[in-house]
Structure 1
Amino acid sequence: MSNKSLGILYGVLGVVLFSSKAVMVKLAYRYDVDTLDLLLFRMLFSLPFYIFILFLIRKKAAKAKIVPTDYAWLFLFGFVGYYLASYFDFLGLNYIKAGLERIILFVYPTIVVFLTWLIFRKKITQVQFIAILVTYVGVLITFWDELDVAGNKVLLGGFLVLLSAVTYASYLVGSGWLIPKFGVLRFTCYAMIASTFCIVIHYLVAGNWDFANYPWPVYAYGLAMAIFATLIPSFLVSAAIERLGASNFSILGSLGPISTILLAFVFLDEKLTYWQLVGMLIVIFGVTYLSIQGKKRAKA
């Protein structure tokens, strides 16, 4: 198998496994598990693996000189990109379908464009603007039927998941210069450890201390999320980006909403209406077109 084919395989597996996280969260919520408890399980169960990986690469030299302020920035990015993004996402899944959650999260490349313009004053081209506009029209169409249900909290859930997309996009924009200094493996492990620390502190302050009284499936879902929706896909995606490049991999990301919707249909019996499917396709088209144009601009 060629290097490129292997990269595509790794990328597809990584995207599908990441997409399974929302389904596992919804399955765990059937047991009335607290959001913070479930997030704590996910991070604590994955923590030993990241510490072990750090131990394995301990003798591998960093790619550039690392100063104390770099660790402060790394902690900040772990706080924003893994703790805040995960917490908002888990909260939002209390109120909306897993398929809708993935469609909202999928707009993060458009947020990256906005943040790049806001922070670095990088001009938004006409093509980018049109692609972004198309994407958000798709999101509005997707939510139209959900908003017809009186008294539901779909707007709150959608807003929380959008906050997750914003914080994750902020992490991508801000950490780009730091990842090459640490290397992908070391940076990912440190960031995950930092986010776990933040979640533990959050739990010590606001937790209900009922984490030992859930039925065994809750812990099983927490462990499954830690291994199959966090640990394994994080390295599959890194391997795919190494072989394909970030631009090519971003196009594979369009499989995310589709795989989540299929998994939610099989395991949660979630069904999307005709208009929601149309909206999903519009969102996928907008983000994929934006990614392809970004790739062309990078080559120019």
Structure 2
Amino acid sequence: MAGRAMFLAACVHGSLWFRNRLQYGLAILGPQKETSGVASLALLCIIVLTLPRPVRRLFYECFFIIHILTCVAFVVAMCYHTSYASPWIFPPLTFCGVDILLRLFRYRIKAATLTAQDTHMTMIRVHNCDDGWLAGQHVRLRVLFSSRGDSGAFVQVILDGPYGGSSVDLGLYESAFLIAGGSGVTFTLGLLDDIVGRCVRLGRSQGERTRRIEFTWCIRSFEWFAPMLIDITTAASNSTVDLHISIFITCSQACDPEAVLHIPNSIDTLSRPAVHNLLRDFISFPSSWEKEDSIDMHA
């Protein structure tokens, strides 16, 4: 919002100045103040024109380079344009520099393995990086060097983080309802693995109260995460945790039921979920699901 307001103010300021120069027959480009002002407005226009989401999605690498270069050039041009710009420019630059410096302390360079799951998903397994994490956290990751045919090979990656996580401790509640769509399952799957591990593997060492978990996922295809879900459900199958998994498959073409991997105590449905119905069923019914291995396909 602040950026759009600044662009609007700059356009009003620039249009009035252009009108004044044209009305009195004055040259648009001249001394340093005029030239640097036109350059600042042009750079700001480039920044705004490259911001729309389609541009960023289709040409992200070009957008990133252009955005960095034009922002730096805009700051320099504004300092030449007016001496009043300095008090408004240098404090934000100081905060930005401090932020970058603090981020450097969170950077880690690790070896990782890239494994292509299919044409839409690549699994990145980072080695020797299993300390200092909380369930549901994420990192910003950059692959330093990669090329075609790197599947299964070691590469170097930069990790920035971890960030985020859950502000709610699921272990404080008897029932937990986790729902995700698409790749958002990376968050809920981490929470599920954590609470099942605390209740089953660690024997409720911190007094966890969780007895019932409903895990719902809406996805086009779930073969990528099936092994992890199988491990978690197997661990919970002979415990005091009542875990039930509902997977809603939204593939555009008819899915082959035989191709669906067998996940204990799960129901797979070929449709989109009605969230209000899921919540109503979760709230209305007590923890009475039967611990059965079931794969039901409903069109």
Q: TM range, normalised to the smaller chain?
A: under 0.3
Query: Greater RCO between the two (CA within 8 Å, min separation 6)?
Result: 1
Which has more radius of gyration?
Answer: 2
TM, length-normalised to structure 1: 0.23
- TM-score with structure 2 setting the length: 0.23
